[in-house]
Chains A and B, each alone.
Chain A
């Protein structure tokens, strides 16, 4: 499980390389991208060669108002706890994006004007990347949907199914930024949380929040400092302020962006630069500590 708090610190970089390396050198691994709003893990692994499976995830219960039955008492608007009902031209409308499907409006509507329907929250893909046998599972949230935590849960369930099928030993989950519902959903049930932090004030604070959540969810946290050489003072601050084990330091390396650009996993990119040595050391250390 890879998390950070702040975006752009290098979660996908670490997740893609760790999964690639484990799968190539240790044991069969499955990678899951739990950032269902910005699923980039497959890009860092060089793009997809074959799609094994696409599953639609439904189950988002929504309501709409049948205006021919509506008597405009607006009880639905007054009672909705999610501000999902708005009045347009004196008629109530339910914003699909905000509806939680609790059906309180249906219960309270005296005119029986509320209709229930099902909406897809997104799709799940199981794919084979171009340069590796590592199966990748990722979710793709419907634009503007609210149930991203539920989709993350389904991505993880699908990944476990793929693990059984491929007899995989490890599951690497690349999470979204932040500490919200999708991140809590990602960390839940994981044995280890790798927190990626860069030497910036915002990132250190984000890492502290993730650390707290990982501990609450009983996932063992380790910290990785990415781009540590960009600001030594703040790297020292990370050392002092995050009271958990720092398991590796990766220097800033422009060839990481270049590898993304040429759509090749960093570990087999020909032009890889100074992060390579540090990355291999980190991966080896992780394997020896964790396995």
Chain B
């Protein structure tokens, strides 16, 4: 079993494009594949695949429930709350600002009257699904205006590890960036793909991502997507990648591919994309032959 993290510092470089098409191709080649969408702020694998939902699970976090009868208004919870999410209103008692509370549960333990008990609030959902072609799918999705992105990513990765025995390949589509959630995906994966594009912005963000990956003693395969797009800096990106001795694979820019993506369609399974399919086969070969 191999876990492949598909990363990209910058948004819009093609992480989801690579994840979805790689998952379809590997599934076609006979591997048992689970596609995990860990871009919980904006999970977009679902726009490219038709699937049947098997189960939707709520992701919950701690929320204090305050028993007014037990509370003696000592206000210890208020003074010790690290997020300052609790306040005292004389006419109303102790109130919780739900959107500020991060669910650490310190208040429950610190209350001398045991007036605070475990409550739960839903901050996101985890969807289990499967395509007709037997591709497994796991999608994390944050509830709009909730800010616990990283908690949900951690939760999705936990769920993934529990399910991983039933699969040969697990492909994780990630959010852009270099935050702690990305770090967790790097830690969980045995193989990392860094998807970039040959623009100045793409290169600048690739460097940050690669630095984060190297910091944890892993080496990514760089996917140079939209290679040779007009006006871009293909050679500069390749020079950078080669200077670090990293492997890379290019997917050439084509308006045909761009239009497919816009319409929410995949390359694998479509006619006229045999050359692109060969590139995905090369990526798959790299993954299969990589020591993990």
Instruction: Answer yes or no: do A and B interact.
Output: yes
Please list the residues of chain A having a beta carbon within 8 angstroms of any beta carbon in chain B: 5-9, 12, 37-38, 40, 43-44, 61, 79, 81-83, 97-98, 100-104, 107-108, 141, 143-146, 148-149, 176-181, 183-184, 198-202, 205-206, 209, 212-213, 216, 230-231, 234, 254-255, 257-258, 260-261, 263
B158 touches A179 (CB 8 A): no
Instruction: Check if B278 is an interface residue, CB within 8 A of chain A.
Output: no
Interface residues of B in 206-231 (CB under 8 A from A): 208, 211-212, 215, 229-231
The answer to whether A260 touches B200, judged by C-beta atoms less than 8 angstroms apart, is: yes
- A156 smallest CB distance to B (angstroms): 16
A205 touches B44 (CB 8 A): yes
List residues of chain B with CB within 8 A of the CB of A261.
Answer: 199-200, 231-233
> How many B residues have CB within 8 A of the partner chain?
63
Q: Name the A residues within 8 Å of B150 (CB-CB).
A: 98, 146
Q: Kindly identify which residue among A144, A178, A200 contacts B42, using a CB–CB cutoff of 8 Å.
A: A178
| Residues B264 and A107 in contact, CB atoms below 8 Å apart | no
* Shortest distance between the CB of A60 and any CB in chain B (Å): 11
Instruction: Return the chain A residue nearest B261 by Cβ.
Output: A200
Min C-beta distance of A272 to chain B, whole Å: 11
Q: Which residue of A lies closest to B214 (CB)?
A: A143
Q: Does B90 contact A (CB under 8 A)?
A: no
A184–B142 Cα distance when bound, in Å, is 13
Using Cβ atoms and an 8 Å threshold, which residues of chain B touch A143? 178, 183, 208, 211-212, 215
Q: Which residues of A contact B181 (CB under 8 A)?
A: 146
B58 interface hit (Cβ, 8 Å): no
Cβ of B62 within 8 Å of any chain A Cβ, yes or no, is: yes
B204 at the interface (CB under 8 A from A): yes
**Do A43 and B200 touch (CB < 8 A)?**
yes
A261 CA to B231 CA in the complex, in Å?
7
User: 4 tightest A-B contacts by CB?
Assistant: A8-B12, A7-B11, A258-B231, A102-B104
- B residues contacting A by CB (< 8 A) are 9-13, 16, 39-42, 44, 47, 61-62, 82-83, 102-106, 109-110, 142, 144-145, 147-151, 154, 158, 175-184, 199-201, 204-205, 208, 211-212, 215, 229-233, 258-259, 261-264
Determine which residue in B102, B106, B258 has the highest number of CB atoms from chain A within 10 A of its CB, and name it: B106
Contact of B41 among A8, A98, A178, A200 (CB under 8 A): A178
Given contacts A38-B9, A181-B149, A213-B144, 18 further A-B contacts (CB under 8 A): A5-B42, A38-B178, A38-B205, A38-B208, A79-B109, A81-B61, A81-B103, A81-B104, A98-B150, A141-B178, A146-B181, A181-B148, A200-B263, A200-B264, A202-B264, A234-B263, A255-B231, A257-B232
Q: Provide a sorted-by-A list of 7 A–B residue pairs whose CB atoms are within 8 angstroms.
A: A38-B9, A98-B184, A100-B82, A145-B180, A176-B176, A176-B177, A180-B147
A8 touches B82 (CB 8 A): no
Q: Which residues of A contact B147 (CB under 8 A)?
A: 149, 180-181, 184
CB distance from A40 to the nearest CB of B (A): 4
Q: What's the Cα separation between A81 and B106 when bound, in Å?
A: 10
Q: How far is the CB of A132 from chain B (nearest CB, A)?
A: 17
A179 with B145: CB separation less than 8 A: yes
Please give, as numbers and ranges, the residues of chain A lying within 8 Å of B154 by CB-CB distance.
82-83, 98
Residues of chain A within 8 A (CB-CB) of B12 are 6-9, 177
* A146 CB contact (under 8 Å) in B42, B179, B211: B179
Specify which of A5, A79, A143, A177 lies most central, judged by the most chain B CB atoms within 10 Å of its CB.
Answer: A143
Task: Give the docked Cα–Cα distance between A217 and B147 (Å).
Answer: 14
Q: Evaluate whether A144 and B199 lie within 8 angstroms (CB atoms) in the complex, with A98-B150, A257-B232 already known.
A: no
List B contacts of A149 (CB < 8 A).
Answer: 147
A114 to B181 alpha-carbon distance, docked (Å): 24
The minimal Cβ–Cβ distance linking B13 to chain A, given in whole angstroms, is 7
| Residues in B whose Cβ lies below 8 Å from that of A213 | 144-145
A284 CB, nearest partner CB in chain B, Å: 26
Minimum distance in angstroms from B17 CB to a CB of chain A: 10
CA distance A178 to B144 in the complex (A): 10
